[in-house]
Chains A and B, each alone.
Chain A
Amino acid sequence: DGGITQSPKYLFRKEGQNVTLSCEQNLNHDAMYWYRQDPGQGLRLIYYSQIVNDFQKGDIAEGYSVSREKKESFPLTVTSAQKNPTAFYLCASRGGGLAENNEQFFGPGTRLTVL
């Protein structure tokens, strides 16, 4: 399955609650990404990290936070500031050097629902 795992598969959040989505990869990839997918739409970039201890905002970062303390792990926290968090969240990683564009491998996704 591409060496990227996400947990949990399904997550339910109450309003006002922070939740953290896990993403782990054993592909030795430097770059990792978080995307959000809404029904019938494409994927939108939330945050990305090109290297350990560094991460940058994507196109829809408001209400989300990340960390990259280890190469293998890139957890995403959905905070209470995210007003419409119900969506399918996909983590991805990419190998190769900084000057290359290579395939991004996706994890199986986490479906988050706000109750």
Chain B
Amino acid sequence: GENVEQHPSTLSVQEGDSAVIKCTYSDSASNYFPWYKQELGKRPQLIIDIRSNVGEKKDQRIAVTLNKTAKHFSLHITETQPEDSAVYFCAASQPFTGRRALTFGSGTRLQVQP
């Protein structure tokens, strides 16, 4: 089955700096890669996703890049703000398999220091 590894497990940055979180996946058939933000005690919320037919996607201060050959994808947050502090999860999903459920990375706790 799919295995998703995520690094780093914790990340502390100064307000205004950029943050980068990296994930690798094992199943070359995976074609959908969402990123979720989870605040303490709350549900994960989708912040951006990318499909395997594109290499990069941006949404304001957030961008995701995908390297299918190397089987890794990254989340980039620019001009970080204190409200970006949360746990971020990457995930991968495969088409045409029975479940099409997400396989999650172990999470990155991002702390933005004001």
B6 vs chain A, min Cβ distance (A):
8
**A42 near B98: Cβ-Cβ < 8 Å:** no
Query: What number of A residues sit within 8 Å (CB to CB) of B?
Result: 28
**B100 near A101: Cβ-Cβ < 8 Å:** yes
Please indicate the chain B residues that have their CB under 8 angstroms from the CB of A103 in the complex.
Answer: 34, 46, 49
B73 within 8 A of A: no
Tell whether A42 pairs with B32 under 8 Å between CB atoms, given A31-B100, A56-B98, A56-B99. Answer: no
Name the residue on B nearest A59 (C-beta).
Answer: B1
B93 vs chain A, min Cβ distance (A):
5
The CA of A10 and the CA of B57, in the complex, are separated in Å by 38
Interface SS of chain B? loop
Q: Which of B62-114 contact A (CB under 8 A)?
A: 89, 93-96, 98-107
1/0 contact trace for A23-55 toward B, CB 8 Å?
Answer: 000000001010000001111110010100000
B61 within 8 A of A: no
**B99 near A43: Cβ-Cβ < 8 Å:** no
Tell whether A101 pairs with B107 under 8 Å between CB atoms, given A50-B99, A107-B43. Answer: no
The CA of A105 and the CA of B44, in the complex, are separated in Å by 8
Q: A44-B104, A101-B93 are in contact. List 18 more A-B contacts (CB 8 A).
A: A31-B100, A42-B6, A42-B89, A42-B104, A45-B99, A45-B101, A45-B103, A56-B98, A56-B99, A58-B99, A58-B101, A99-B95, A101-B31, A101-B94, A101-B95, A105-B46, A107-B43, A108-B43
